[in-house]
Amino acid sequence: MVSIFIYKILENKQIISLLYPIFGEKKNDNQLYNTSAFKYFDKPFFKVVDKIQDADFILIPHLYKSLEDSYIKEAESFSKINNKILLIYAYGDLDQKIKVKNAIVMKYSGYRHSMKPWELVIPPNAADASLETSIIYRNKTNTIPIIGFCGWADSKNISDKIKLFIRNLYIEIKSILSLNQKINASKKGIYFRKKSIKYLQSSSLVKTSFIIRKSFSMHRKTISLDPEIARREFLENIKSSDLMLDVRGDGNASTRFYEALSLGRIPIVIDTELILPLEDVIPYRDFCLFVPFSDIKNLPQIVHKYYESMSVDDFMKKQKLAREMFEKYLRSDKFYSFIFSSKEEILKRATPST
């Protein structure tokens, strides 16, 4: 187990979820459906030490985006003086460009083409949906799969549509000028969601079970219907589908990806230059279908071929493997227990910045 020295705690700042097993969970009433994400945060993921010389790492106890530059500079200096690597928790949708000397940055949103050696990919704090409903694996009885999706995939008004158009136009121009088409992966998730849904709904090669919403349903300030109804619809949509459409949100990641895995569903991942946690350990392609964002127009054909090629046993095995990998590595507590099991587990996946 890794030894951690906790850097200066500020009274006016919320502590990061990594420290909940030590200081207790700090609930955010505006965040919906993630109560079970911390159910298993019942013991520390690392050993906390009082003496800096006994530590493997120094952990900043607050979210990076909530801190002043002066605090970060002081932590950087403290790290350098004591010759200890600094761990920064940059949880959130923003793909922040963080460069702090002698530091490793933990984040869930990023792109393959711009990933830095000092960035360590973590899973979002997704709920284990099996605590809310039963896991029922589906039998392969049809040649045409049912594709599920429930969530934000439409603009609320004309103003939002104009903003989306302007943002996407800016990104396209940027990709043309830089001669790098991969930059187009940074278009907002709703753009890729609308595009994927359009092609799937217009095809006879698949059946669709889509519940389209015009707002984000995981935050109390943006949800547009009763939270209990929204959650029930979301979970039932997963359970009644053969495959789940998974498209990034505002950040280049998706909580629904992990929730689908928790119920043993195979995600159809629109690959927007995604980086997933523990790619060196987890055989994602054995239980997920990845479709490049540039190939969305062929999505129905790709999905149909993928589903048709699976035997009855293959389909069942993939579902069970999806659940197994979530339960073993991707549930937040299991991930942190694994990654903090030794200093080497962290350093083999991230190199401190210089």
Helix (H) or strand (E) holding 268: strand 266-271
Q: Where is 167: in which H helix or E strand?
A: helix 158-178
C-alpha span between 213 and 237 (Å, rounded) = 13
Say what the pLDDT of residue 21 is. Answer: 93
47-48 and 3-6 strand pairing: parallel
Q: What is the dihedral of CA 165, 168, 170, 171, to 10 degrees?
A: 180
CA dihedral (62, 63, 68, 71) positive or negative: positive
Q: How far apart are CA 216 and CA 224, in angstroms?
A: 8
According to DSSP, the residues that pair with 3 across neighbouring strands are 47
Torsional class of 27: left (φ above 0), alpha (ψ -120 to 50), beta (otherwise): beta
- Residues with Cβ < 8 Å from 259, sequence gap 6 or more? 126, 127, 129, 238
- Confidence at residue 92, expressed as pLDDT on a 0 to 100 scale: 81
Torsion of CA 236, 237, 242, 245, to 10 degrees: -150
E-only strand ranges, 85-173:
85-89, 103-107, 119-121, 146-152
The list of the chain residues with pLDDT below 70 reads 27-35, 215-225
Is residue 274 within 8 A of residue 295, CB to CB? The reply is no
50-65 b/e (C-beta count within 10 Å ≥ 16 → b) = eeeeebbbbbbbbbbe
What is the distance in angstroms between the CA of the first residue and the CA of the last residue of the chain? 25
If phi > 0 it is left, if psi is from -120 to 50 it is alpha, else beta; for residue 200 that is: alpha
- Quick: pLDDT tens for 223-275: 566 778 888 999 999 999 999 999 998 889 999 999 999 999 999 999 999 99
As a whole number of angstroms, the distance between CA 198 and CA 196 comes to 5
Residue 219 pairs with which residues in a beta bridge? Answer: 31
Contacts with 221 (C-beta within 8 Å, 6 or more apart), sequence order: 30
Cβ within 8 Å of residue 4, ≥6 positions away? 46, 47, 48, 49, 55, 56, 57, 58, 59, 87, 340
Handedness of CA 327, 103, 92, 117 (dihedral sign): negative
Please name the amino acid found at residue 96. Q
Residue with tokens 């029922």: 136
